[in-house]
Structure 1
Amino acid sequence: MRYPGRLRRSGVFAAVLALTGGVLTASAVTAPPAAALTDPVGFTADHLATYQTNGIVWSLAEANGVVYAGGTFTNVRPAGSPAGSNTTSAVNFAAFNAATGAPTGCPLSFTRSSGTATVRALAVSPDKSTLYVGGYFNAVNGTAANGLVAVNTATCTLRPGFAPDFGATVRALDVAANGTVYAGGDFQSVNGQTRRFFGAVTAAGALTAWNPDADDPGRTLKVTPDGQSVLIGGDFFTVGGANSHALAVTAAGTGALTRAYPGNFIPSSAVIKDIVTDSLSGGWYVGGEGAGGASFDGRLAMDLTTFDQRWRDTCQGATQALRVYRGVLYAGSHVHDCSTMGGFPNQVRKHLTAQAVDDPAMLGWLPDTNDGIGEPVGPRALTVSSRGGHDFLWVGGEFTTVNGVAQQALTRFADSPDTGAPSAPVVSLSAPRAGEVRVTWRSSLDLDDSRLTYRVYRDGGSTPVHTTTGSSLFFSRPQLTFTDTNVVAGRSYSYRITASDGTNTSTLSANASVTATGSASPYAERVLADGADLYWRYDEAGGAFASDASDNGDGGVYMNTPSYRSTPSAVTGSSALTLNGTDEYVYSDRLHHYTSPTPYSIETWFRTSTTRGGRLVGYGSNIGTAQGHTSGISDKILYLTDNGRLAFGVQVGSSGSRPTITSAASYNDNTWHHAVATQGPSGMRLYVDGAQAGSNATTGNRSYNGYWRVGGDAMATAWPNRPTSTYFAGQVDETAIYPSALTAAQVAAHHELADTPSGPGDTTLTLTPTEDAYVNGVAANTTYNDTQLASRGTTPYLGYLRFALPAAPAGQQLRSARLTFRTSSDATAGSAEPHTLVPVTGAWTESAVTYNTRPSLATTVLGTISGATAVSTDYSVELNAPVLGGALGSAYSFALTSSGTDSLRIWSGEVATAAYRPQLVLTFGAE
């Protein structure tokens, strides 16, 4: 939405947020087709078959196409093998072919005579000839060792004579060009001399003078590319007696502190878990783990020359491991909240992410693990290795799944090929005005391709009628739109869409159809003319996508399957949405930013008889998810009190002040009411049914990143007359958000226009069947006149419906027709296959029709049902209005048929719940 104060971002995140300024249309197609990987991402999100361990992998290193893993485990097993099967002994250490993921046969066992042995640090010498292994052990293959050994990478044997003695666990290692081995950890002595938490030895194992003298353990360290400094990180608060918490720069020769980071540069509750350097970007990168929202869990980009900060990622989620590859910083963490970055709010954890080295914005690379065993935090280590002409990103940690597949502690990703196709687009159609069909869809998701190419196909054609590109991330999937102007009023059109990353193409979306109209809705036209930049009409027949009728592309997501296509609606020619008051709601699919006192208006229609109140429309800090996340910050709320009074309130700044307007009248009378809430330079206004119901002078509200929600979200107890339920039970329709404060005249005009049908003088009639039944080819002489209708091709079912079609009103003709229906609760009710509606030309009655006496059918297709896959769900299909128009004034029958093997079952006219019965909706307009 075009609100002042939006945070600016570069990279993919910026491309996604750029769509908040306008929907992609045909005229916006200027970018080339999407590549298989969206630049600058260098690895696919498709995990490769890799051996697993039976415990945590704490560290990874690579040399000459071999990847070394150290941790706390006792065996390895192939990918796909459950724990305990097909195991090979590997005690805390293993080596793998980088390209195949299989062990190379490097049988070194790291053990202790008492306590639990573990390998915590691995580092390779610059010439790749020596692997240094650090941890908590006192023997390797039975040979005495005290926390650090050197391994010949060519022979996988210990280098003789290298036998330093570390007094406790070694957790971090790096090797300088001159062969000096730098170490950090829990130890306070090396070779019998005091070295508190950091120390270094020569390639022969002799102690050096390097002595940072920290006061708490070291977790990570890295020699700078010029060899002059060693960057250290950990738990410490002082280095050499000087204040420098968790991070410091030391002289490579002496360990003297050369750059301190005192104060709150790293909050006191945080520690530093990893440091990496990158000569090409001239930067070094830091990963933190903290406690609480004010701590540091994200990443820092620092300058290798000045040692100053370049940027700071303040996402929450305990960063454990970093690696730079071709200008991209890859991270292992459990990031779950980037709201302080202008990114996604608190939600389900993501464990693998990427960002450009010069920009903290998230890139479109999002394979995932779970948290796993141990603390648990997921990935613990990253390394990049090349072999066989490909580069591989290896990931180690405590996870037990990768991309939802069982895989423990190790996985890897390659630079190619990308084999993962994007998700299929979710499509919604409308006929907003004469000569137009509006095709909207929720942008797809691909875990390594944020910019995708979409192709729109019409009426089953093989050549797209429209091609465009769009960017999306998991937390921001903007709506895209194509307006087809090559249509004729009264004719039905169908559309399907694919998404492609340039190499892989999604399946076709479910077929959707609509009948082009000959006139526009005066109500909808006025809403759009008055500047709505979010406009949900709730005309979808099902699914999770709520189309935005504005040109801003701010689609919504239906949560927990509300009841679609409810009638009667607030505005003739449209339909409404029914919410259960428990867990059903709609949330905007895109992040917004409000800066107070930006003006805005909230508009919706509602109908309810609840005595528990509920939140109608509001703005909140959290995205809606299946996990039920609600908003920690919430204001700009339109809600009902328990006694049905309408309230509009805001929160002023971060204070507890919540100025609220509450109507004097109650509106829980089960009739439609029009509600508008505005805030601008003249303060707050609340309008009900076209008239002002209250006002106050408050111009300010709370500034934050957030999402619009309809039907439910958190409400603090401080809200005046807080309802018993924060979720709304009833119907909503025609919800719109404006970037301005509507005037009283505009509000009154909207309310008045809602009484006007879908065109000047239009008439809409809703009919229920006079007869309906189905037949079964297996029981060919049985009549099925019950609460369900069925359709299937193989082992056939056919369903029949008869309606008493009225004559057209004087001076009018049939403009559009649709059949609304609800799939039954039978487990097989939904169908992934198409089912057609065709005219019945023979005679039948619901009390006597059988398969053997079934009537003859015409070949004309009135409409095609596609995508009715869910049970107990409302759907709708547009019908051929000209054909039905020729039968007006008579009893008219059509059959529900299929040529497939997947049955469709819908409730019939005999079902007890009237709202579940099929309905034929006819709209008449001027000739």
Structure 2
Amino acid sequence: MRAPGRLRRSGVYAAVLALAAGALTTSAATAPPAAALTPPVGFTADNLTTYQTNGIVWALAEANGVVYAGGTFTNVRPAGAPAGSSTTPAVNFAAFNAATGAPTGCSLSFTRSSGTATVRAFALSPDKSTLYAGGYFNAVNGTAANGLVAINTATCSLRSGFAPNFGATVRALDVAANGTVYAGGDFQTVGGQTRRFFGAVTAAGAVTAWNPDADDPGRTLKVTPDGRNVLIGGDFFTVGGADSHALAVTDAGSGALTRAYTGNFIPSTAVIKDIVTDTASDGWYVAGEGTGGGSFDGRLAMRLGTFDQRWRDTCQGATQTLRVYRGVLYAGSHVHDCSTMGGFPNQVRKHLTAQSVDDPAMLGWLPDTNDGIGEPVGPRALTVSSRDGRDFLWVGGEFTTVNGVAQQSLTRFANTPDTGAPSVPAVSVSAPRAGEVKVSWRSSLDLDDSLLTYRIYRDGGSTPVYTTQGSSLFFSRPQLTFTDTDVVAGRTYSYRITASDGTNTSALSAAASVTAAASASPYQERVLADGANLYWRYDEAGGAFAADASAGGDGGVYMNVPTYRSTPAAVAGSAALSLNGTDEYVYSDRMHHYTSPTPYSVETWFRTNTTRGGRIVGYGNNIGTAQGHTSSISDKLVYMTDDGRLAFGVQVGSTSSRPTLTTTASYNDNTWHHVVATQGPSGMRLYVDGVAVGSNTTAGNRSYNGYWRVGGDAMPTAWPNRPTSTYFAGQVDETAVYPSALTAAQVAAHHALADTPSGPGDTTVTLTPDDDAYVNSVAPNTNYNDNQLASRGSTAYLSYLRFTVPAAPAGQVLKGARLMFRTSSDSTAGSSDSHTVVPVTGTWTESAVTYNTRPSLSSTVLGTITGATSVSTDHSVELNAPALGGALGSVYSLALTSSGTDSLRIWSSEVSTAAYRPQLVLTFGAE
């Protein structure tokens, strides 16, 4: 359900969506300087050292720089202490210094003679001299007390004479300016008088006339700032006998209904867990917890003056607690699906979020806990406190980790300082045409800063050649792009990027290198000219980022480390991507919306010999994640059947109809094939290898927000000839999506330009070493001929590789050379140092070479390896092709050397997995 009218997307979310639409715009490049916290966020995402409890914290309150925690626990312990160690008794109640996170010494024990005692609610008197604590207990420090007590905050002692008697658990409390204490919970009597689930007592403890008379438990309540009404929330369906489910406004004196909420305003499957007010925004805010996809799990923003709805957050994820701080609504929940709001689809849970009080769009504040013990749902309570010149947001609940580190049930965040740096940018470089190097990167993530500043450094320089800004959120990390036009054809350039929030700066990205081209790829230029707004060429040497070569800026994410830079590729000058058919795929990092019957085209090259079929490319309503989330809605699919036939299908609306075109021929013959699927006003068309092979008149498909995926996603059994595997085993190359239905002539032209398998006129040769070995100065007489090679400067390692290099094909010359390798699984395999590739001028043999008999080396540097910092990762280095030209038609040796202290370890030709062995890739073309 949405509020009347149209939801506005303002602030961070709007900026992210704008950048997601393409490369950086002028407005983005001239945005205000990034700050340590992106306004209006008021707290950092850096959790502070805080004592822990050994059970659930249900309630928090603050007074005079002291934070009180109530719940179901028996002790507290320091941050970092494992459960059961260094404990201090604290029976369901503890008090902490807001600025240090350490106990204050205030100790009260809430117990029961039978059953499990718990503290569930706190409220402060207007002058903060009295803390009211409610729950399920019948004694405090041995003094009889049934469900509600008053605590003197100055002395940490019970206030004598205050002894109301609640018949069951008190779950909610608030105090009016006149001292009246309002309560909600499971009780049906107060002081012997009938008060079903809501009741109130005076500051002296006498029962008042306030009697909403609900039919089910109360979970939360709040006195309006003017004192005239009490906002109540819970499980109830009636108040005073009148319909008003889960939410109502009652008169502060009598409890009579001031405003009921009927119909499906709060679905019958939802309850209300928290209510807070904020006079600055004339608002009150409501937290919902529901069951099922059509329920209410998010937040409501309501008006204090009229009690009408201002906006509604329909994310799924059981909101438990809310607090407002300087115009921002902070929430504890386990939000996991905001697709009904145009946000992120179902994925891993997030437990702490923020949004403006004026707009439901998510802000860039995302520290996180886990679900923890109990139900489990994570955070249960929030409060804000000030002390020693800083403000603190305290979080209590049932979690056992905070930001990935062990911390149980309590944590806190401050308004300053921000110490967390953004993530390192993931960079891809290409040379798309003469005089250009294109540097693309996936925008970084900072848990409290959505607007970041990026600086690009070239060739190891200390002064950036380009500086820009961009916004991102965890579910939308747009591709950003810089085109370097100060380049010379044939020269190799390397680039590194940092991300900064204005205070903290990430490490430099791994160096990404490319040789400037003398001309553009004819295939690429035709794809771009025909309007592709997503174009993945799969030329990355490793990492998780798939650059979009189009102006659409729709970068992709590689999942589960596919095999990069497979050869031969479908198109000259490009590499291909190998997928294992089990869990490897690529997904779009940007949400799209297709409204039927908007035309589109999907194009890709593939090569396979699978007999299990698979989903080659398609559209679905979920992104891919490490948690394995797949789409519940899919269409616009190109897939292969078990017998190698190709199919193109759509879903018509939300019906079960899935019109599908299927070829009669099979294409699992392990050669490259070109497939294009189009849909427009005239219907569906399927082309294979430049020729139309099927068509129908279906112009409609399903309208929804979604993401493109290559290599795999869910496929319901309703799809015709559904393959055994929904993941594709084989190679893919040159995937493109267009906002139009390509014509037959355009499709034929694309196929002709590729001239598979290696491109128009070019020849690609991939060589593995005839011999390889390494030597070690610490063991100068030992020969190392095993499944790894190594390079290091101090206590030196050197490696040698020998190749039989063919002569150039007739009429062609060596145009490019690249050494490809994979770092080993050894924990020290990655290296932060650079390593050079040089010719070997002396003689050596694989079985006998040692450090003392090592061959002499040339001073010529053929290429430099940088950024190979990760283990079990594919990398490559461009080599100086002209320098290698003289080795054609001979046996030729290369060496890996370094002057640094950090060793590099790579798999050798002896490793059992062929795909991990080193490769020398040579590209020949016309003179």
Contact in 2 for aligned 1:573/1:764 (Cα 8 Å): no
1:337 maps to which residue? 337
2:30 maps to which residue? 30
Contact in 2 for aligned 1:67/1:95 (Cα 8 Å): yes
Q: Residue type of the partner of 2:251?
A: A
Give 1:496 shift.
0.9
Distance 1:127 1:871, change over 3 A: closer
Matched position secondary structure for 2:13? helix
CA distance in structure 2 between the aligned counterparts of 1:916 and 1:77, rounded to whole angstroms: 49
Within-5 A mapping of 1:540-559: 540-559=540-559
1:145 maps to which residue? 145
1:819 aligns with 2:819: yes
Give 1:926 shift.
5.3
1:696 aligns with 2:696: yes
Give 1:28 shift.
4.8
CA distance in structure 2 between the aligned counterparts of 1:913 and 1:503, rounded to whole angstroms: 45
CA distance in structure 2 between the aligned counterparts of 1:694 and 1:585, rounded to whole angstroms: 27
1:187 aligns with 2:187: yes
1:375 maps to which residue? 375
CA distance in structure 2 between the aligned counterparts of 1:60 and 1:824, rounded to whole angstroms: 50
Matched position secondary structure for 2:281? coil
- Bigger drift between 573-582 and 784-793 goes to 784-793
Distance 1:274 1:509, change over 3 A: same
Q: Residue type of the partner of 2:894?
A: F
Contact in 1 for aligned 2:825/2:872 (Cα 8 Å): yes
Contact in 2 for aligned 1:26/1:482 (Cα 8 Å): no
Q: Residue type of the partner of 2:381?
A: A
Give 1:919 shift.
2.7
Distance 1:250 1:491, change over 3 A: same
Give 1:885 shift.
4.1
Distance 1:277 1:904, change over 3 A: same
- Bigger drift between 458-467 and 820-829 goes to 820-829
Within-5 A mapping of 1:86-125: 86-125=86-125
Matched position secondary structure for 2:489? coil
- Bigger drift between 644-653 and 20-29 goes to 20-29
1:3 maps to which residue? none
Give 1:716 shift.
0.3
CA distance in structure 2 between the aligned counterparts of 1:734 and 1:755, rounded to whole angstroms: 13
1:364 maps to which residue? 364
Matched position secondary structure for 2:605? strand
2:477 maps to which residue? 477
Q: Residue type of the partner of 1:535?
A: Y
1:503 aligns with 2:503: yes
1:165 aligns with 2:162: no
CA distance in structure 2 between the aligned counterparts of 1:760 and 1:306, rounded to whole angstroms: 71
- Bigger drift between 378-387 and 879-888 goes to 879-888
Contact in 2 for aligned 1:650/1:660 (Cα 8 Å): yes
Deviations 1:302-329 (A, max 9, x none): 1111111111111111100000001100
Give 1:630 shift.
0.8
Give 1:102 shift.
1.0
- Bigger drift between 789-798 and 740-749 goes to 789-798
CA distance in structure 2 between the aligned counterparts of 1:25 and 1:878, rounded to whole angstroms: 32
1:617 aligns with 2:617: yes
Distance 1:765 1:518, change over 3 A: farther
CA distance in structure 2 between the aligned counterparts of 1:289 and 1:26, rounded to whole angstroms: 42
Distance 1:121 1:754, change over 3 A: same
Give 1:914 shift.
5.1
Give 1:139 shift.
1.3
Distance 1:7 1:533, change over 3 A: farther
Give 1:856 shift.
2.4
1:682 maps to which residue? 682
Contact in 2 for aligned 1:123/1:175 (Cα 8 Å): yes
Distance 1:303 1:566, change over 3 A: same
Matched position secondary structure for 2:135? strand
CA distance in structure 2 between the aligned counterparts of 1:27 and 1:166, rounded to whole angstroms: 60
Give 1:758 shift.
8.5
Contact in 2 for aligned 1:54/1:409 (Cα 8 Å): yes
How many residues align? The count is 922
Give 1:628 shift.
0.9
1:741 maps to which residue? 741
Give 1:490 shift.
1.2
2:45 maps to which residue? 45
Deviations 1:703-748 (A, max 9, x none): 1121111111100000000001101111111111111111111110
Within-5 A mapping of 1:731-880: 731-755=731-755, 761-805=761-805, 814-824=814-824, 828-846=828-846, 848-880=848-880
Contact in 1 for aligned 2:7/2:311 (Cα 8 Å): no
Matched position secondary structure for 2:745? helix
- Bigger drift between 587-596 and 676-685 goes to 587-596
- Bigger drift between 25-34 and 187-196 goes to 25-34
Deviations 1:740-789 (A, max 9, x none): 11111111000000018999755444444454332222332344455543
| Structure 2 unmatched runs, 5+ | 1-5
Deviations 1:846-869 (A, max 9, x none): 455332122222333322223334
Root-mean-square deviation (Å) = 2.0
Contact in 1 for aligned 2:569/2:757 (Cα 8 Å): no
Distance 1:8 1:590, change over 3 A: farther
Q: Residue type of the partner of 1:77?
A: R
2:3 maps to which residue? none
Give 1:606 shift.
0.6
CA distance in structure 2 between the aligned counterparts of 1:26 and 1:460, rounded to whole angstroms: 27
CA distance in structure 2 between the aligned counterparts of 1:782 and 1:375, rounded to whole angstroms: 60
CA distance in structure 1 between the aligned counterparts of 2:344 and 2:800, rounded to whole angstroms: 49
Give 1:192 shift.
1.1
Identity %: 86
Contact in 1 for aligned 2:439/2:483 (Cα 8 Å): yes
Give 1:830 shift.
4.0
Contact in 1 for aligned 2:570/2:759 (Cα 8 Å): no
Give 1:824 shift.
4.3
Deviations 1:598-655 (A, max 9, x none): 1111111111111111000011111111111111111111000011110001111111
Within-5 A mapping of 1:613-692: 613-692=613-692
Distance 1:689 1:102, change over 3 A: same
1:209 maps to which residue? 209
1:517 aligns with 2:496: no
1:328 maps to which residue? 328
Deviations 1:284-319 (A, max 9, x none): 100011101011111000111111111111111110
Distance 1:32 1:884, change over 3 A: farther
Q: Residue type of the partner of 1:239?
A: V
Give 1:888 shift.
5.0
Contact in 2 for aligned 1:490/1:816 (Cα 8 Å): no
Give 1:913 shift.
5.7
CA distance in structure 1 between the aligned counterparts of 2:108 and 2:458, rounded to whole angstroms: 63
2:390 maps to which residue? 390
CA distance in structure 2 between the aligned counterparts of 1:596 and 1:214, rounded to whole angstroms: 47
Q: Residue type of the partner of 1:342?
A: G
Contact in 2 for aligned 1:25/1:468 (Cα 8 Å): no
Within-5 A mapping of 1:176-575: 176-575=176-575
2:606 maps to which residue? 606
Deviations 1:822-850 (A, max 9, x none): 34455654444332212333344445533
CA distance in structure 1 between the aligned counterparts of 2:258 and 2:503, rounded to whole angstroms: 50
Q: Residue type of the partner of 2:355?
A: Q
Contact in 2 for aligned 1:776/1:796 (Cα 8 Å): yes
CA distance in structure 2 between the aligned counterparts of 1:449 and 1:489, rounded to whole angstroms: 39
Q: Residue type of the partner of 1:450?
A: S
Matched position secondary structure for 1:280? helix
Contact in 1 for aligned 2:20/2:477 (Cα 8 Å): no
Deviations 1:59-112 (A, max 9, x none): 111111111111111111111111122111111111111111111111111111
Q: TM-score, normalised by structure 2?
A: 0.96
Q: TM-score, normalised by structure 1?
A: 0.96
Give 1:816 shift.
2.8
Contact in 2 for aligned 1:637/1:650 (Cα 8 Å): yes
Deviations 1:464-493 (A, max 9, x none): 011111111111111111111111111111
CA distance in structure 2 between the aligned counterparts of 1:274 and 1:591, rounded to whole angstroms: 32
Q: Residue type of the partner of 1:717?
A: T
Deviations 1:686-714 (A, max 9, x none): 10000001111111111112111111110
2:71 maps to which residue? 71
CA distance in structure 2 between the aligned counterparts of 1:785 and 1:111, rounded to whole angstroms: 70
